[in-house]
Structure 1
Amino acid sequence: MRILFLVQSDFTHQHLRSRFAQFEVAPFAANERAIRIVLGSFEADVAVIDPGAPWASRIEQTLHNLAVKVVYFDGDFQTIDEEISRIAADFDDDEFEDDPEPADEPPEKFTPTINTDKYELEVIEPKEEEGNPVPPYIQQRMLQKEGVSQSEITQSEEAHLLKESDQQLAPVSEAAPEPIKPPQEPKVKSKDKVHLPKIPSIPKISPPKLPKLKIPSLPQIKLPTPSMTEVDPTQEIDMSLVDATSRIVYQDKVVGTAVIAVMGISPGVGTTHTATLIANYLARHKERVALVEACDSYAFARIERLYHAVPDGAILQTDHFEAFGVHYFKSGEQLDLIQLFSAGFTFIVLDLGSHDTSEHFKEFLRAGIPVLVGAGSEWKHQDIYRFCRQNRKRNQQNWNIAIPLVEDESIKDIKKGMETTVKQIVAIPYHPDPFSKQSDTDESMKRLLQLHGKRRGLFFGKR
């Protein structure tokens, strides 16, 4: 049996070669190119591959194409001994079974016929000549045909390498070559020189001096400034007199519908109560307000039954209703703000519910006035800190935090523990009936919304 050990180190190859000295072992190949040269000259029956080698997968495919059995070696010599012994036993059995019975006459083989009368053919073996060496794998095949063993071939190769190295290291006894002289220019005789006539120098011509001309200065002309006429801002302008192509209109701020998004940091902090307070506060100041239930609390259905004095068991088949000047839009399948924008509302208040269950956190981030509702208990302040810390990468400078049922001292404590910068933290006083007016709550709403001067005609108290 002929074995090919494909490992990465010569030490491992020598160790495996000594353990399986009874088999024919191919010489050590250090890289993929050397392995393929060995495969061309060594017909292996079994190949032992180191799976950690970089060329393992490519060589494995080549061995499968050559029908060579592949065994993996991971450094465990005891396991590889057992595997090689088992393969050798199977190989001997297969070889014994495959041996044909001796026949009286050898089987006929197909041999091509050549017309020797027309061509004189001669088999020429490759010979090593100067400048045309015979490749090593062809030399090994020639020696194997002559009956030379693999060990003798390896010893002869080592002796040949030592001989070549000695020749390369031997001192050169020949005389040093003469230095190469640079080529010398051919000497030109004096009679061959060509004498060119000298070119006469060009005389310098100086330009004539021109007389200086005095240009009289132009008199300064003062243009009359047009008189500025005062324009009455209330006077209408006839736009038909202005060219439409040159008409440019500048507007600092578009006055439209403002969105107030109210969202609770945790469940049960009073998000719906705070949103109802804001909506009724705006409605009392003659604003057209829409309060949208953008969560699954279904509180607006109960508010509708109480407002219309309907028993609790009754179900009203309506999607919105009006109470105390506020238009309530009950919870639906999806949040559609486009129709509300076109309905002429000046404010849209969104009740987003708790952040843990809300599906409209993006509406809170894009709202003009985002309001967070947190719990005022001391042991729940950590919920406020954690929520702001988790969203520290977002712009929190326009966030407003409303804390119901707390005093000003609690607000100061919450501000001290904040790690991020929010716009303001406002305390909401005790207000059991959100549909009624309460002076201290109105002051908190003014601080929370900060709408003075931001919208035309919205200056509470001076209408």
Structure 2
Amino acid sequence: MRSERPSDMSWRLLLVYGGDRGLHVLIYNLEVKEIPPPAYRLHVCNDQKEMEGMLLKMTVTLIVMPEEHAGLIERLSLFAPNIPIAIVVKEHSHQHARHWTSQGIAWVWPETNWERHLNLTLDAPLPETQLADSQEKVVSQTYDQPTILIAVAGAFDGAGSTHLSFALANYLAKQGDGKVAIWEAGRNPCFEFLAFNHNGVVNTKPRFEMDKVTYFKSTVDMDWVESYAEQFRYLIVDLGNINTSEHTSLFFRATIPVLVGSGSSWRQRELVQLCRKHIHKPQEKWRVVLPMASEDARDEIAETLAGRHVMSLPTCDPYQLSEEAEQVIERILNITTRKPAGFFGRFIKR
């Protein structure tokens, strides 16, 4: 016996259908005994953190969980506010079903044959208009080419990695070449306040949208980054201070590693020490960005760090980029690598 689903859930269940991607169903703390239909992709987990990670990594169609874990529903709404939930109960009755559907649950299934109910529920066809919308959504969020990972790190605290991350994200979003996301991976998170400042209300969700850019707060863990977020063309990781970041390895693995320093003479030492510290790493593709540095200061540091791409970034509003700032950002994102040169460059060629 299948319970009635709330009117506001009308066919929201089938967000993605068909193709080789299938319907992603998250099964929490339930044993799967039957073989699901070919179009289904069942993801079984018994750990809450693992489940939350899955909700961030993929487009989940439905969550199925036993009644004794229904206390997680409120927390799940933060990670997946629009994903229907089916509750599996040991004793099924009309009264029981009405109780749960009044709490916003889409389906209530008996424990004895919940898999049968799952198969019947997801076999229902989509209306043509919604199917077209769903297919368009899938196309807009998947790309044939790998996600481009851009890691932005500061040579010291307060260097400006977050400011530059915002500028890069808004520049890429303006180009319209694909979806853009930022993950704050530093030790001084600020996205929470950014969301509040932008919307005027407290945002407790781990992600939010602003100006065509998706922002992932520091509550999102490394597992999500490891998945390379296939629905985004560009993933920008704001590492904060590279010396204290827990995710420094992402800088060296990034397609575009960007190191933010300073053009001040008393700050050159930090850049040089960083290059020497990581002398065993290839550094030819590093982008060293010096906010507000003069051309003379840039030239001096470029000579010291011969073989690396060093550029000065003018003062800019990351949400209202000047033409000059956009030209520098274009160079940051599209530089042809050169071989190291000079005395210090010879050391990093090993």
Taking structure 2 as the reference length, the TM-score comes to 0.52
Partner of 2:187: 296
- The reply on whether 1:409 has 2:296 as its aligned counterpart is yes
Higher alpha-carbon Rg: 1
**1:183-198 equivalences in 2 (<5 Å):** none
Q: Using the alignment, how far apart are the partners of 1:338 and 1:370 within structure 2? A: 16
Q: Using the alignment, how far apart are the partners of 1:399 and 1:384 within structure 2? A: 12
Q: Using the alignment, how far apart are the partners of 1:269 and 1:320 within structure 2? A: 25
Q: Using the alignment, how far apart are the partners of 2:326 and 2:169 within structure 1? A: 12
Of 153, 156, 168 in structure 2, the residue corresponding to residue 278 of structure 1 is: 168
Q: Using the alignment, how far apart are the partners of 1:400 and 1:298 within structure 2? A: 23
Shift of residue 421, structure 1, vs aligned partner:
2.8
Q: Deviations over 1:71-122 (max 9, x none)?
A: xxxxxxxxxxxxxxxxxxxxxxxxxxxxxxxxxxxxxxxxxxxxxxxxxxxx
Shift of residue 330, structure 1, vs aligned partner:
0.5
Partner of 1:450: 334
Partner of 1:255: 145
Q: Using the alignment, how far apart are the partners of 1:374 and 1:401 within structure 2? A: 7
**Structure 2 counterpart of 1:320, which letter?**
R
Q: Using the alignment, how far apart are the partners of 1:383 and 1:278 within structure 2? A: 24
**Structure 1 counterpart of 2:329, which letter?**
M
Residues 365 and 294 of structure 1, relative CA distance in 2, 3 Å threshold: same
Other structure's SS at 1:392 match: coil
Of 314, 317, 326 in structure 2, the residue corresponding to residue 429 of structure 1 is: 314
Shift of residue 416, structure 1, vs aligned partner:
1.9
Q: Structure 2 stretches of 5 or more lacking a match? A: 1-143, 337-350
Of 317, 324, 327 in structure 2, the residue corresponding to residue 440 of structure 1 is: 324
Shift of residue 256, structure 1, vs aligned partner:
2.2
Partner of 1:399: 286
Partner of 1:209: none
Maintained 8 Å contact 2:192/2:217: yes
**Structure 1 counterpart of 2:185, which letter?**
A
Q: Using the alignment, how far apart are the partners of 1:293 and 1:299 within structure 2? A: 8
**1:121-136 equivalences in 2 (<5 Å):** none
**1:33-432 equivalences in 2 (<5 Å):** 255-286=145-176, 287-310=178-201, 315-332=202-219, 334-335=221-222, 336-342=224-230, 344-418=231-305, 421-422=307-308, 424-431=309-316
Q: Structure 1 stretches of 5 or more lacking a match? A: 1-253, 453-463
Shift of residue 359, structure 1, vs aligned partner:
0.8
Runs of 4+ in 1 over 3 A off after TM superposition: none
Shift of residue 347, structure 1, vs aligned partner:
0.3
**Structure 2 counterpart of 1:416, which letter?**
E
**Structure 1 counterpart of 2:196, which letter?**
R
Other structure's SS at 1:341 match: coil
Shift of residue 356, structure 1, vs aligned partner:
2.2
Q: Using the alignment, how far apart are the partners of 1:395 and 1:437 within structure 2? A: 31
**Structure 2 counterpart of 1:434, which letter?**
P
**Structure 2 counterpart of 1:421, which letter?**
G
Higher relative contact order (CA 8 A, sep 6+): 2
Higher strand share: 2
Identity of aligned residues (%): 30
Query: What is the aligned length?
Result: 191
Q: Using the alignment, how far apart are the partners of 1:434 and 1:333 within structure 2? A: 23
Q: Using the alignment, how far apart are the partners of 1:278 and 1:348 within structure 2? A: 10
Q: Using the alignment, how far apart are the partners of 1:391 and 1:338 within structure 2? A: 22
Maintained 8 Å contact 2:263/2:301: no
Shift of residue 332, structure 1, vs aligned partner:
1.5
Maintained 8 Å contact 2:147/2:228: no
Residues 326 and 412 of structure 1, relative CA distance in 2, 3 Å threshold: same
Residues 393 and 451 of structure 1, relative CA distance in 2, 3 Å threshold: closer
Residues 359 and 309 of structure 1, relative CA distance in 2, 3 Å threshold: same
RMSD: 1.7
Residues 411 and 337 of structure 1, relative CA distance in 2, 3 Å threshold: same
Shift of residue 437, structure 1, vs aligned partner:
2.7
Maintained 8 Å contact 2:186/2:239: yes
Q: Using the alignment, how far apart are the partners of 1:400 and 1:304 within structure 2? A: 29
**Structure 1 counterpart of 2:286, which letter?**
W
Q: Using the alignment, how far apart are the partners of 2:281 and 2:227 within structure 1? A: 29
Partner of 1:182: none
Higher helix share: 2
Q: Using the alignment, how far apart are the partners of 2:206 and 2:335 within structure 1? A: 30
Taking structure 1 as the reference length, the TM-score comes to 0.40
Q: Using the alignment, how far apart are the partners of 2:195 and 2:301 within structure 1? A: 36
Q: Using the alignment, how far apart are the partners of 1:259 and 1:389 within structure 2? A: 24
Q: Using the alignment, how far apart are the partners of 1:334 and 1:346 within structure 2? A: 19
Shift of residue 417, structure 1, vs aligned partner:
1.9
Q: Using the alignment, how far apart are the partners of 1:300 and 1:451 within structure 2? A: 29
Q: Using the alignment, how far apart are the partners of 2:311 and 2:208 within structure 1? A: 30
Shift of residue 451, structure 1, vs aligned partner:
7.1
Other structure's SS at 1:337 match: helix
Q: Using the alignment, how far apart are the partners of 2:323 and 2:252 within structure 1? A: 30
Q: Deviations over 1:5-37 (max 9, x none)?
A: xxxxxxxxxxxxxxxxxxxxxxxxxxxxxxxxx
